Amino acid sequence: MEFKTIKIEFSEGIAVLTISRPEALNALNSQVFEELDAFITSLESKLEVRVLIITGEGKSFVAGADISEMANMNQEEGRLFSLKGQAVFNSFESLKIPVIAAVNGFALGGGCELAMSCDFRIASNKAKFGQPEVNLGLIPGYAGTQRLSRLVGMGNALFLLTTAEVISAEEALRIGLVQKVVEPEELMNVCMEIAQKISSKGKLSVQNVKQVTREGYNIPFINGSELEAKVFGESFGNGESGEGMKAFLEKRKPNW
């Protein structure tokens, strides 16, 4: 599939996905969702890719959903548009590999929801975050009400959702919405360094720790602990653990 609203780069096991509608501040529309869905499907067959970085072109990460497309929707069309976005964002969350949001500018509405569907977020100090849907007489549609409360707590989430306040990268860091804030010119370098660090670890162990952490978060503690023990035990038969522990004892880097 030829992409018109996204750009893809691959380098040494790291994929960089750039939302590319700078004239619309990278606003999300049906075409973007279709291309993202096609990209995710193609990525699942690229076994050499170990980390995905998502960013936006220009001064915006993603400024929200495309209001011009939504303005004339009826109730059923709105519901389906919501489900389409949720499905795509759930697919990012469900990827076996870690997904990093490199938030270079505005991450508002659907843009904030996209960033939240990633495993963690690194932000430029010029980035802005918010869920301004109530300004339009709407609510978030891409699981923003669900992910935000899980990431920053109920009080912080409801404050942002009901006031539509746009917050700085530093405030997003304070409440736990992002994990690191850097200078704009360093954003992609820092994200690539993090991706390279992850890529240097055992491939299966990184995938397993993502799976167990994400699955365990939404089930009772005891069940999550049982899942952890199961996957921990399975690790002893996957080949990586033998090399990893041998390398540790021999005081050398593992040869994955």
Query: How does pLDDT run across 67-126, given as a tens digit for each residue?
Result: 999 999 999 999 999 999 999 999 999 999 999 999 999 999 999 999 999 999 999 999
Q: What is the mean pLDDT of residues 153-182?
A: 98
SS3 of 237, please? coil
Question: What whole-number distance in Å separates Cα of residue 198 and Cα of residue 181?
Answer: 19
For the chain, give the mean pLDDT. 96
- Kindly state the average pLDDT of the residues 194-222: 96
Does the pTM surpass 0.85? The reply is yes
Can you read off the two tokens belonging to residue 146?
A: 């669900």
Question: Identical fold at 6-199 and 203-249?
Answer: no
CA distance 155 to 133: 18
Is the pLDDT at 1 greater than 90? The verdict is no
Q: Shortest CA distance to 51 belongs to which of 253, 255, 201, 185?
A: 201
For the 203-249 domain, the top CATH level (class) is mainly alpha
Helix (H/G/I), strand (E/B), else coil: 18? strand
Confidence band (pLDDT; 50, 70, 90) for 256? confident
CA angle 162, 166, 167 (to 5 degrees): 115
Report the alpha-carbon angle 6-140-27, nearest 5: 25
Q: Which two tokens stand for residue 116?
A: 């939240």
pLDDT (average), residues 203-214 = 96
pLDDT at 145: 98
DSSP 43-101: HTT-TT--EEEEEESTTEEE--B-HHHHTT--HHHHHHHHHHHHHHHHHHHH-SS-EEE
Q: Of these residues, 35, 57, 113, 240, which one is catalytic?
A: 113
Is 76 marked active-site? no
Domain ranges for the chain? 6-199, 203-249
- Could you tell me which CATH number the domain at 6-199 has? 3.90.226.10
The residues facing 99 across adjacent strands are: 52
3-state secondary structure of 254: coil
Q: Say which DSSP state 28 is in.
A: B
Burial of 88 (0-12, 13-18, 19+ CB in 10 A): buried
The yes-or-no verdict on residue 182 having pLDDT over 80 is yes
Residue with tokens 């360093």: 186
Single-letter amino acid, residue 212: V
Token pair 């109920």 is at which residue? Answer: 154
23-62 pLDDT, tens digit per residue, is 999 999 999 999 999 999 999 889 899 999 999 999 999 9
Question: 189 CB contacts (<8 Å, ≥6 apart)?
Answer: none
- Is 133 in the active site? yes
* Local confidence band at 2 (pLDDT 50, 70, 90 cut-offs): confident
Q: Please tell me which residue in 133, 186, 243, 250 is annotated as part of the active site.
A: 133
Dihedrals phi, psi of 39, to nearest 5 degrees: -65, -45
